[in-house]
Amino acid sequence: MVTACLFDLDGTLLDRERSLDTFLARQYERTRPLQKKMSLEAFTSRFHELDQRGYVWKDVVYQTILEESKIEEVTSLFLLEEYVHLFWQDCLSFRGVVETLQILHQLGMKLGIITNGRSEFQMKNLNAIGIEPFFHAILISEREGVSKPESIIFERALDRLGVKASEAVYVGDHPVNDVQGARAAGMKAVWKRDMFWGDNVEADAIIDEIPELITILGEWREK
């Protein structure tokens, strides 16, 4: 019987792409050297291309954009510091995330998060979308000293929730870090479809939106 549900953060609960678009628009408005050299559309498009869904750190992204556009009036460090300290202000969750977590909480399910990233940055983002109180365990790779898809971080989360792998489901958007990582640790894995990674993903279930979990978990809880 499934008694616990764990989640990835970026791209699963946090709508990172939409949040990033909002943040970049504000950053562009604040930064005249960017406005002089490129359009907002060019800035955001190139950022997304270099960012690779967050898997390229932002110092590299900003430095590349500045060098390509021959912008010298602002530094990549300045833009990076804005990102680190201000991104949380523009964070948005996917549709139905809060309502789904409320239902799962009311059903008595133990909830957890396993996310790669820097601890302070990820906690700010988590708190910004107002869902931190729902979770019994939050594991962030920097703080844990180990990252997904390593089995140890999944096993550590299960231990903190006090459940067996066979009693837990993990939900995430990355085919390797989330789906393969969770399954290797003995958990069921739900892929939140993201066509950025293609469509050839083997998972125990596939969803497009978080509220679809209610039906899936309801069926698994009865087995």
pTM: 0.94
Each domain of the chain, given as residue ranges in start order, spans 4-15+92-221, 17-89
Distance of alpha carbon 89 from alpha carbon 101, whole angstroms: 22
Q: 4-15+92-221 sits in which CATH class? A: alpha beta
Note down pLDDT in tens along the chain; length 223 residues: 899 999 999 999 999 999 999 999 999 999 999 999 999 999 999 999 999 999 999 999 999 999 999 999 999 999 999 999 999 999 999 999 999 999 999 999 999 999 999 999 999 999 999 999 999 999 999 999 999 999 999 999 999 999 999 999 999 999 999 999 999 999 999 999 999 888 889 999 999 999 999 999 998 987 6
Q: Are 104 and 98 in contact (CB under 8 A)?
A: no
Residue type, 166: S
Q: Are 66 and 43 in contact (CB under 8 A)?
A: no
